[in-house]
Structure 1
């Protein structure tokens, strides 16, 4: 038999197989309820291609078994791996409440997998482990960071006779993922790009603005730097549940903070055998910030009264809206300034930009005792987190420390 006649069909078959395994995607989004106001899409096949390419170009990882075990456990758990992982937030829900729906190949095998992972049955096919909740509905499973929306999602997605099906092209264009905000028929999309040592979320491809701001901030060497205008303040106050952002009358805020390890005294009282009161002192090291917050206001007097009304400033002129004490709040013709009193610091120069810059710190890492080993490893690998805004352009960058491996092989 002519070898060319055999090889040509094999190459064609291999090409078709590679296309369907790594490139062809079902773009129908069937699991986003009508009252979702934010959607995160993860392009699973895009990430798979990135992972394979990174693995091929880093032979030192060819013998690594860690990721193989993780992948194998998921493959054997009874779930279907989707082309697009659909994660959504429900209108009116808390900022921390996010949900997703996964299809099941074998519900019984998946239930066994949950027991193996130490999920606890809460009855009615609902399972919980820490802050993760699952509800198995036939051959589908609703996953969420809260149990409050499970019933509503089941009703809207699985018990509705007619449901509009969205298309992935409405949200994502050739990136590893996207986050989109929905307001009626209007959709505002932000791409999520996974690079060798950073993750970027943005709606603008121009990196010069971000690089210029970050370069200046890194020269100051503070743990936290932030500068926001009135529109950004309104967005932040709304995100944290302060819905009357306009009442603050603040048109600009500038924050500078550093971390310091201090000795904290714990005083307890007990009684001896004769019922005499005994004072006992114990000492522990805690992490506290030193900071200065400058609120610029159009009408400082009204802002001061509003802070007092909300009990954010007490009778001792301490700003109590943040848990880091002691501090002192004072006002002048430009606004209100809050300074930590234990170790005052100088405010860094204003850049007249909108940004939040958080630099990683060993002191911050050491205080996160409740995290798992994996979470601690990931956080310790981060160099800084940056948020920036200019007009209608937004950026979020999570920059990792330089390493021998790209993030997709590290994390």
Structure 2
């Protein structure tokens, strides 16, 4: 047979293989329960293409990690069926910190070996735990969550219910590597997630000009934290922690400025000498403390003060004990309350009449988080700042990393 005649079919076959491996996606979302009120989607194939395209132009990464443990089982050998769209969800009426995902398993036994290899503890009945991650194996599926409390609900809805979920990826994501969506009845509010060379953006608009200029303005103040929120934003954030807090306290405006400082903290303990006499021991340790000022405006300041007293957040010395970093002082002022640290007072920045939260990374922050693993510390040290901004119906979150030789997708 003429070899030239084989070239065209081989090229077509190769093109078809590349299309199905890297571009074709099954957009049916079978692993999101009906009572989900928030969904995060990750387009795995788009992210893979982005990774490969970055890898091609960075030869320094071609050899892979030299420090990787050869005994460690990789994700592709873990028994998991890699999905086209990773589906992460939050269930209605559960805590904000509770997020779940379901993966399909090609080989459940391989997956168990993978979990043991990564130091997950078998809690019995096919439930495994490592730190705050829980995994339950249900037949040929694995339920993953930051809590195990909704595993039975998820199992009943996804694997035992006769009703089929009709959600598709097109309802949530469009041409980006990921999305986060909030579901309320038939209404779905979508935010795109874009991974760039040195930043991650989450937004529902392409018009971020005003909010981008706000970042430049806030950065000039050079504080660890700057925040200003109106009544709607205050209420939205309060839902994550205490749904009734804002309604009960009548707070309709929040403003905060904070810096970090390393201070000496004296710890007093008691022991006994050889004659059993009690002796006092003083130990000095360095700790990280914030210096801050917070302005809480209220439609009825007197009711706000009474609510805080009822919650026992104000003690006899007028210290606001709901903030664990002491000492501080809370004052009633025109239109609201002001809370200030007293060890090293900080002045509130001028009001910008904008809605934003700006957190600048600091070496002091990293040194204070001793519970983090070396990988988590590396990731955190890479960050420059985190910004949240809102103007009318436009929202934008920007996670900015420091400039590096490699793009984020190859660094992380």
1:11 matched to 2:11? The reply is: yes
Which has the higher mean CA deviation after the structures are superposed, 300-309 or 214-223? Answer: 300-309
- Relative to structure 1, the CA distance from residue 299 to residue 63 in structure 2 (aligned partners, 3 Å threshold; closer, same or farther) is same
Counterpart of 1:220 in 2: which secondary structure?
Answer: coil
In the TM superposition, residue 7 of structure 1 has moved relative to its aligned partner by 1.9
In the TM superposition, residue 66 of structure 1 has moved relative to its aligned partner by 6.2
Aligned runs of 1:11-410 on 2, under 5 Å?
Answer: 11-65=11-65, 73-410=74-411
In the TM superposition, residue 206 of structure 1 has moved relative to its aligned partner by 1.2
Render the CA deviation track for 1:10-47: whole Å, top value 9, x for unaligned. 22111111111111000011011111111110000010
| Distance in 1 separating the partners of 2:360 and 2:313 | 27
Counterpart of 1:51 in 2: which secondary structure?
Answer: helix
In the TM superposition, residue 298 of structure 1 has moved relative to its aligned partner by 2.3
Counterpart of 1:166 in 2: which secondary structure?
Answer: coil
Which has the higher mean CA deviation after the structures are superposed, 47-56 or 124-133? Answer: 124-133
| Distance in 2 separating the partners of 1:36 and 1:66 | 41
What is the alpha-carbon root mean square deviation over aligned residues?
1.7
| Distance in 2 separating the partners of 1:244 and 1:283 | 38
Structure 2, unpaired ranges of 5+: none
Render the CA deviation track for 1:342-372: whole Å, top value 9, x for unaligned. 0012211211100110000000001111111
Render the CA deviation track for 1:267-297: whole Å, top value 9, x for unaligned. 0112223332211100100000001101122
- Relative to structure 1, the CA distance from residue 195 to residue 72 in structure 2 (aligned partners, 3 Å threshold; closer, same or farther) is farther
- Relative to structure 1, the CA distance from residue 17 to residue 176 in structure 2 (aligned partners, 3 Å threshold; closer, same or farther) is same
Counterpart of 1:339 in 2: which secondary structure?
Answer: strand
Partners of 2:180 and 2:192 within 8 A in 1 = yes
Counterpart of 1:143 in 2: which secondary structure?
Answer: strand
Which has the higher mean CA deviation after the structures are superposed, 138-147 or 243-252? Answer: 243-252
In the TM superposition, residue 65 of structure 1 has moved relative to its aligned partner by 3.3
| Distance in 1 separating the partners of 2:61 and 2:123 | 41
Counterpart of 2:161 in 1: which secondary structure?
Answer: coil
In the TM superposition, residue 242 of structure 1 has moved relative to its aligned partner by 4.1
Partners of 2:33 and 2:165 within 8 A in 1 = no
Q: TM-score, normalised by structure 1?
A: 0.97
In the TM superposition, residue 69 of structure 1 has moved relative to its aligned partner by 7.7
- Number of residue-to-residue matches in the alignment: 411
Which has the higher mean CA deviation after the structures are superposed, 209-218 or 159-168? Answer: 159-168
| Distance in 2 separating the partners of 1:249 and 1:243 | 10
Render the CA deviation track for 1:303-328: whole Å, top value 9, x for unaligned. 21222112222221111111111011
Q: TM-score, normalised by structure 2?
A: 0.96
Structure 1, unpaired ranges of 5+: none
Counterpart of 2:80 in 1: which secondary structure?
Answer: coil
In the TM superposition, residue 136 of structure 1 has moved relative to its aligned partner by 0.9
In the TM superposition, residue 72 of structure 1 has moved relative to its aligned partner by 6.8
